[in-house]
Structure 1
Amino acid sequence: MNGEREVLGGGRGPAGGPEQAVSSSAPQGPVSTGRTPGVPPTAAAARDVVTRLLEAQFCGLGGEGPADVVVADALLVTSELVTNAVRHGGGLTGFTAEITDEGLLLTVADASTRAPVTTERDPAAAPVGGYGWLLVRRLAKRVSVIHSPGGKRIVALVALV
């Protein structure tokens, strides 16, 4: 992995190295159809990929799957990362979702080299929007931003317990 790395643990400060946030093996084969093979065309399509993955992983476990609020958090993180890539990152260029021993590992790539921005806002005075990155950092167990010459990848680990 070339380029600078910013690794945040739960949005509170530096976590361990990038090897903690980046899976050594990405899922094989397409996860959805879109303009680019394997890349969902919308946030809704990305949520569908994650929903199917969670259902496949936990189907038939007799109620041992993640709680509804955990699934909602995973889908919200998915939505925010993909939406931010589309709106602010020059377009979604890659997407993977996989279940690991630690939880749901999401990797979202975009065409921008700019790091996500956290802006402190007064909810009473601020316009609508601008809370996505804060939500991702709060809901994810670990988040890393990996810069490369053609853009960046954001890797988020969402605990499923």
Structure 2
Amino acid sequence: MNEELASVLDTCTALPASAADAREQVEVLLGEQCVPGDGRRDGVVWADALLVTSELVTNAYLHGGGLTAFSAWIAGDELFLSVSDGSTALPVTRSRTPGRYTVGGYGWPMVARLSKSLSVTPTATGKSIEAVLPLS
């Protein structure tokens, strides 16, 4: 890793026990790395970051066989989230019938919409999802 990247990189050290714990870690990271007046303290930007964090970690616990790894870091004007779980099943987008309400299935499309990029990588023990979110 080069020195420039190392100076803007911060990873969360403890595996969150819940989505709330993960949000707290990301909020601390944002607070430490985003300086007032730099355009990255916008409430909507932070809310999006915390919402995506919550969704990915919740899904790891509910549908992924448990959270196996979590990290978050900032490089430039982007927040990187990496969430791994114990399931090889890929996230799915449910088809919807216009005008009919169904319970669940809204999270993955929301994560995709809020993320600048999104990838799912199979691992030896499940999968890892990396989301990149713009901070400006």
| 1:116 aligned partner | 91
| 2:58 aligned partner | 83
Task: Give per-residue Cα distances to partners, 1:75-107, cap 9 Å, x unaligned.
Answer: 111011001111110011110000012400000
CA distance in 2, matches of 1:40, 1:139: 22
| 1:147 aligned partner | 122
What SS does the aligned partner of 2:110 have? helix
2:19 pairs with 1:43:
yes
| 1:64 aligned partner | 38
**TM-score normalized by the length of structure 1:** 0.73
Pick 1 or 2: higher relative contact order, CA cutoff 8 A, min separation 6: 1
Q: Specify the code of the residue in structure 2 equivalent to 1:46.
A: A
Unaligned runs of 5+ in 1: 1-22, 31-37
Q: Specify the code of the residue in structure 2 equivalent to 1:64.
A: D
Aligned residue pairs, count: 128
Greater displacement, 132-141 / 120-129: 120-129
What SS does the aligned partner of 2:88 have? coil
Once the two structures are TM-superposed, the CA of residue 28 in structure 1 deviates from its matched residue by: 5.6
**TM-score normalized by the length of structure 2:** 0.86
Q: Which has the higher helix share?
A: 2
| 2:112 aligned partner | 137
Unaligned runs of 5+ in 2: none
Task: Give per-residue Cα distances to partners, 1:12-45, cap 9 Å, x unaligned.
Answer: xxxxxxxxxxx9xx85672xxxxxxx21000011
**Identity within the alignment, %:** 50
Give me the CA root mean square deviation.
1.9
What SS does the aligned partner of 1:46 have? helix
Once the two structures are TM-superposed, the CA of residue 49 in structure 1 deviates from its matched residue by: 0.4
CA distance in 2, matches of 1:51, 1:28: 12
What SS does the aligned partner of 1:63 have? coil
